[in-house]
Amino acid sequence: MKKHTLIAAAIAVAGLSSNAMADDHMEKVNPWKQCGIGAMIFDDNGTAAAISNIIWDLGTTALSTKISSEESCNGKRTKVAMFIQDNFDVVLEQTSAGQGEHLNAMLEILEVADADKAAVLATVRGSVTADAQPEAYYNTLVAAI
Amino acid sequence: MLRVVLFLLVILNAHASNALPNIIATPVELAQDPVWAALLHYETGYLRSQKSAISDPSFFYSPDGQTDLLAELQATVSAFSENPLEQCRFPARSLFLSKHFSQLVATVCPNYEDYLASINASSMSLIYASGYLGNPASMYGHIFLKFNGEKENDLLDNTFNYGARYPENENPFRYIANGIFGGYQGYFANQKYHHQTLTYNESELRDLWEYELNIQQQDVELILAHLWELEDIPMTYYFFEQNCAYQIARLLEMVTGKKLIAPGKVWVMPYDVIMMFERQEAKNWVRNVKYHGSRQQALYTKYAQLSEQEKGVLVTIIGRQPDEVTESLSSISDDSATRVIDNLYDYYAYLDKKNEGLTAKQIVTRKSAMNKRFDLPSGTSHFRAHNNAPPHHAQDTALLQISGLYNEEWGEGVELRFRANYYDLLSVNAARIPFSELSTFDVRALYQTEESTLDLRELTVLRIINLNAATTDLPEDSGYAWKIAAGYREQSITKPEEGSLYMDGFLGKSHAFSPNFALYGALSSTLTGKNNFGGYLAIGPEIGGVLNVSPNYAMSFSLRHQRFVNAPEHERTTFNFEQRFFNDKRFDLRSLLRYDDVFELSMSLSFYY
């Protein structure tokens, strides 16, 4: 299941990263519902061929143009949603500590200015708890920017 | 237009084109260039002439492209001149040809430019993932490429992997057979680095070592361009040769011009590629080595640095009810509390993978600790980084050994041994699983001096030992110590001429009293093809240990007592005590004392390559 999760995540990122941002639509996008992250993560739907332990996933982040999706799902917010979903345990641990490499990467995907990062993290840290789920965490993060 | 005409002249007059003043090299010369052969994945087999490893016709312009370098070069130039946009399909070929043909028409490739921009690489690293005994395909480690962005966070860098694709729910026997004998197709795949850290560091608890390579920007681009060409292009995958290590080495050979596949071996291993970078002039190609430890290693590193009081609090939290976490932490300072909680995160992350999930109590305890962490001041806890020796410090993997020995029963002898790979309990094992052994194709031949006879003493196909030694006192920080071995060997050291097929194994527990000392106790069993000693299946207790006294001296021992299941009145007691002297990648000196009804002592000189 975990492998499928990453495969699905890889496919999703592949489809999401090859085009320009669609900032106009971003504010309205819920990556979990409109871009199918939830379905890809939690459904063992076998959409991708299994690949050996050596490769792990289809991984076509920069190459693929084969996965079609809504243009609004191609943006940085969907990418950060995927990042949060995949790395949620570590992201939440680092959020509780207030800093960490994954948090830096997360803010970099969102193109948060260096001067604003500490404030964004402080807001998120003050708003989430250990019970947070990835989607709620994402909403908190987006609201903090 | 004039350029195109000149270009076509080159094709039409391939063998005479060096007369043209604005042509830097002739097609004949270029077709023999190692880079051109590498771009087409040409290989020379043991019994056949040069041929591309790629059979997909879409990869070639010429119908003879798979076997004729010149034909493919001419066809490529022709295609590029007729339609310059064809260069967008094969940008690496375009880069190569543009160095040699001044007439090549420059073209714009928006998709390819987007691809380069999204990767935005300023340098490249070779990443080595340590071996993983939980899956046969991962035992020998893994390597992949990481393309380092100029400014971005490491986790957002792009990586390229090579591996085999196989169907979901593949039969394990078919998986092994197809993997070894070429039943699968291999592909390069692109992924963000944070997926790799999730896979290796977090999920499989494997360490990563990053070798940042000293490669020019234009060479980084050549490799990226070629990886673009290889999207969805399959090559037959062979586990022991045309594997990840082979394909990555070939890519790097293309830009370094150095041999990166270890000579004298019919197999290619990830570790050997790392070793080749440390040899000869290739050493200059490594700029820096960085360590990215697994979650398990993070747990051990941090736990070793906790004070006794902090360790006590950590153990208390793990043992008590979740609602008592805050109370447990109240006895220590905020700084200590953050250290304990951060260590607790590593502990539960490790258990989550090791046990394939946490218990309900563990989940709630983790949440309670995390909520407490939210209340504590922001900032990471401070621990010293773990100083783990990188893989290129380890001993080489193929072994040739000569031993002089004395046996109480039959006197003096000389033993020759060859082990294809990989390492044993006493090897210099930097960056390998602690207290483990992975040996394949281990052959020993014995010449008895007095009898003037030559006997095959052992041909072990596979031997794996993993003591899984617990290194903390924390609950559940240990797996089973286990061993499995199979092949052919003498039934007793008293009669080397009498051998049989065998399977050996044990299952038990172990403890590491320090990073250099572990003991184990287990229930062992031995299955033999002949019953010269009273039975076919023997079982009984076994104890043993490994002690690395210093880098130059290590020892191991095992003591086993077994009875035959079908003949309990027959029993066997065996004892081994082995020592390794010197700390060198290429050689060592060993002594081995064995007891099996009689004593045998040997002194061995080992060469590794």
How confident is the model over A69-95, as pLDDT tens digits?
Answer: 444 666 788 889 989 999 999 999 999
* Alpha carbon distance B212, B323 (integer Å): 47
| b/e map B82-99, b = 16+ CB within 10 Å | eebebbbbbbbbbbbbee
How far, rounded to the nearest angstrom, does the alpha carbon of residue A104 sit from its chain's CA centroid? 14
Nearest in space to B195 (alpha carbons), one of B184, B204, B183, B186: B204
Residue B545's DSSP bridge partners are B519, B557
| β B436-448/B453-466 pair status | antiparallel
- Å between B510 CA and nearest CA of chain A: 28
What per-residue confidence (pLDDT) applies to B58?
95
* Alpha carbon distance A137, A129 (integer Å): 9
Are the beta carbons of A49 and B165 separated by less than 8 Å? yes
What per-residue confidence (pLDDT) applies to B23?
52
Q: Is B187 on the interface with A (CB under 8 A)?
A: yes
What per-residue confidence (pLDDT) applies to A55?
33
Cβ atoms of B505 and B483 within 8 Å: the answer is: yes
Interface test with A, best of B143, B150, B156 (most A CBs within 10 A): B156
What are the chain B neighbours of A62 within 8 Å (beta carbons)?
115, 118-119, 158, 190
Q: Which residues contact B174 (CB under 8 A, 6 or more apart)?
A: B183
pTM: 0.86
CA angle (B501 as vertex; B498, B507 as ends), nearest 5:
120
What per-residue confidence (pLDDT) applies to B247?
96
What are the chain B neighbours of A2 within 8 Å (beta carbons)?
203
Q: Is B190 on the interface with A (CB under 8 A)?
A: yes
Cβ atoms of B81 and B98 within 8 Å: the answer is: no
Interface pTM, i.e. ipTM: 0.85
What per-residue confidence (pLDDT) applies to B537?
94
What per-residue confidence (pLDDT) applies to B279?
79
Are the beta carbons of A59 and B190 separated by less than 8 Å? yes
Who among A46, A58, A62 is closest to B158 (CB)? A62
> Within a 10 A sphere around the Cβ of B411, how many other Cβ atoms?
12
| pLDDT per position as a tens digit, A49-67 | 222 333 333 333 344 333 3
Are the beta carbons of A63 and B115 separated by less than 8 Å? yes
What per-residue confidence (pLDDT) applies to B534?
76
Are the beta carbons of A18 and B156 separated by less than 8 Å? no
- Å between B167 CA and nearest CA of chain A: 6
What per-residue confidence (pLDDT) applies to B9?
42
What per-residue confidence (pLDDT) applies to B531?
82
Q: Is B326 on the interface with A (CB under 8 A)?
A: no
Q: Phi/psi at A142 (nearest 5 deg)? A: -60, -40
Who among A9, A54, A125 is closest to B163 (CB)? A54
Q: Find the closest chain A residue to B270 by CA distance.
A: A54
What per-residue confidence (pLDDT) applies to A36?
65
Low-confidence residues in chain B, pLDDT < 70:
1-24, 45-48, 134, 280-283
What per-residue confidence (pLDDT) applies to A65?
36
What per-residue confidence (pLDDT) applies to A29?
67
What per-residue confidence (pLDDT) applies to A114?
93
Cβ atoms of B224 and B147 within 8 Å: the answer is: yes
Query: How many CB pairs below 8 A link A and B?
Result: 148
Interface test with A, best of B194, B248, B344, B346 (most A CBs within 10 A): B194
